[in-house]
Amino acid sequence: MNSPRVYQTEAIVLKRIKLGEADRILTLYTPNLGKIRAVAKGSRRTTSKLGGHVELLTHSQLMLARGRNLDIVTQAQTIDNFLALKDNLDKLSFGLYISELVDSFTPDHVDDRRLFNLLLDTLQQLSQDKDASSILRYFELRLLDYLGYRPQLRQCANCGSAIEPAVNSFSSRYGGVLCQDCSYHEPTARSLSLNALKVMRLWQNCNYATALRVRIDPKLASELEKVMREYIKFLLEKQLKSTEWLDKLKHDSSLQQRGNASTENRQQM
Ligand SMILES: [Zn+2]
């Protein structure tokens, strides 16, 4: 059976790269086709009808035509452009981070509607003035869960014994929490407070509304960020590009107050 020459899909734009004079190659995450790449012809021209509908982190309805190598976007209509997210440099950096995570972890053409919904929910949550740090950590845990990297947090990830309600450790190599005995023999494990363990266990099994009801103080937020970042870096065997930017923004914000993202900054993305 031949697949149809044109098809429609919802998509979130994860990445864009320039192609030739006026075109772009888009990396898209879709509900039923997973991650796909497609060409948006002429989208860099100011007169392009596609232009605004295929911007980064935009949720759109697309019409595509099968191409010899890459499919071609023939029509696009924005469903949600997440302007609140794009107009704020911090939120934009969070949005780019989650899109880079999805792009880095997913193979092409493997559909996962849960992941699509998670990505969409997360962009919506980030657009509002909620605790971004909790949103990002919750997103990371759910993403890893869907992709088969759910960290083992109930028993020791090495020996399987019960975890004492005390300071234990998290090992990226073992993919979970280690009991105190095993922690002692695993020098690469980092210490994990009881509160951090409790929050991670909860977030593995709850929805966004519940996740964001937990009060996280800055020290705990920082611990959770370090644990998750180390684990993700271990899994991807690389540091994500966008984390450098996240760190720079965090550093800058401790030095000075910033206004909204200027158009110039956004152009560089
Ligand atoms: Zn153990």
Decide if pLDDT at 1 tops 80.
Answer: no
* 68, 173: one domain: no
Residue 239: give its domain's CATH number: 1.20.1440.120
1 located within any domain:
no
Is the pLDDT at 130 greater than 80, yes or no? yes
Q: Are residues 173 and 247 in the same domain?
A: yes
CA of 93 to the centre of ligand 1 (A): 38
* Res. 248 pLDDT band, cuts 50 70 90: confident
Are 98 and 213 part of one and the same domain? yes
90 domain-assigned? yes
Give the end of a domain, one of 62, 81, 100: 81
Distance 155 CA to ligand 1 centre (A): 8
Q: What is the pLDDT of residues 11-20, one digit of tens each?
A: 999 999 999 9
Is 246 among the domain residues?
yes
Q: Which residue has the tokens 């995450």?
A: 29
Residue with the larger pLDDT of the pair 224 and 253: 224
Residue 145 counted as domain residue: yes
Ligand 1 geometric centre to CA of 114 (Å): 32
Instruction: Supply the pLDDT for residue 247.
Output: 81
Q: Calculate the average pLDDT of the chain.
A: 91
The answer to whether residue 239 scores a pLDDT higher than 70 is no
β-bridge mates for residue 152, sequence order: 176
β-strand partners of 29: 12, 35
Residue 31 and residue 143 in one domain: no
Residue 11 maps to which CATH number?
2.40.50.140
Is the pLDDT confidence value at 268 over 50? Answer: no
Q: Are residues 159 and 41 in the same domain?
A: no
Whether residues 66 and 100 fall in one domain: no
Do 103 and 217 lie in a common domain? yes
pLDDT of residue 35: 97
Task: Answer whether residue 172 is part of any domain.
Answer: yes
pLDDT digits (tens, 9 = 90+) for 57-74: 999 999 999 998 899 999
Q: How far is the CA of 181 from the centre of ligand 1 (A)?
A: 6
> From the CB of residue 80, how many other CB atoms can be counted at a distance below 10 Å?
15
Q: What is the pLDDT of residue 253?
A: 76
- Distance (angstroms) between ligand 1 centre and the Cα of 171 equals 11
Measured in Å, residue 186 CA sits from the centre of ligand 1 at 10
- When pLDDT is cut at 50, 70 and 90, the band that residue 256 belongs to is low
- Domain span at residue 19 reads 6-81
Could you give the CA distance from residue 49 to residue 174 in angstroms, rounded to a whole number? 50
- Say what percent of the chain tops pLDDT 90: 80
- 221 with 153, same domain: the answer is yes
Distance set, CA 83 to CA 55, 56, 87 (Å): 11, 11, 6
Give pLDDT, residue 262: 43
Confirm whether 116 is domain-assigned.
Answer: yes
Output the CA 168–ligand 1 centroid distance in Å: 10
Is residue 121 domain-shared with residue 182, that is, in the same domain? yes
What is the pLDDT, as a whole number, of residue 26? 97
Instruction: Please give the distance, rounded to the nearest whole angstrom, from the Cα atom of residue 164 to the centre of ligand 1.
Output: 11
Q: Is a pLDDT exceeding 80 seen at residue 77?
A: yes
- Parallel, antiparallel, or unpaired: how do β-strands 59-65 and 190-192 relate? unpaired
CA distance to 92, 99, 132, 144, 255, per residue, from 211 (Å):
22, 21, 12, 16, 30
Q: 115 near 123, Cβ under 8 Å? A: no
Q: How far is the CA of 194 from the centre of ligand 1 (A)?
A: 16
How many domains would you assign to the chain? 2
Is 39 contained in some domain? yes
How far apart are the CA of 223 and the centre of ligand 1, in A? 21
Q: What is the distance in A from the centroid of ligand 1 to the CA of 238?
A: 27
Tell me which of 57, 81, 105 is where a domain ends: 81
Q: What is the SS3 string spanning the chain?
A: CCCCCEEEEEEEEEEEEEECCCEEEEEEEECCCEEEEEEECCCCCCCCCCHHHHCCCCEEEEEEECCCCCEEEEEEEEEECCHHHHCCHHHHHHHHHHHHHHHHHCCECCCCHHHHHHHHHHHHHHHCCCCHHHHHHHHHHHHHHHCCCCCECCECCCCCCECCCCCEEEECCCCEEECHHHHHHCCCCEEECHHHHHHHHHHHCCCHHHHCCCCCCHHHHHHHHHHHHHHHHHHHCCCCHHHHHHHHHHHHHHHCCCCCCCHHHHHCC
Q: Please indicate, yes or no, whether residues 54 and 127 belong to a single structural domain of this protein.
A: no
| Domain co-membership, 18 together with 33 | yes
State the Rg of the chain over Cα.
20
Query: How would residue 260 be classed by pLDDT, with cut points 50, 70 and 90?
Result: very low
- Is residue 31 in a domain? yes
Which pLDDT score is estimated for 2? 60
Q: Which of 81, 111, 135 corresponds to the end of one domain?
A: 81
| 141 burial level (CB within 10 Å; 0-12, 13-18, 19+) | buried
- Residues 148-198 have pLDDT tens digits of 999 999 999 999 999 999 999 999 999 999 999 999 999 999 999 999 999
Q: Are residues 73 and 99 in the same domain?
A: no
Q: How many residues does the chain have?
A: 269
189 C-alpha to ligand 1 centroid (Å): 12
Predicted pLDDT at 269 = 42
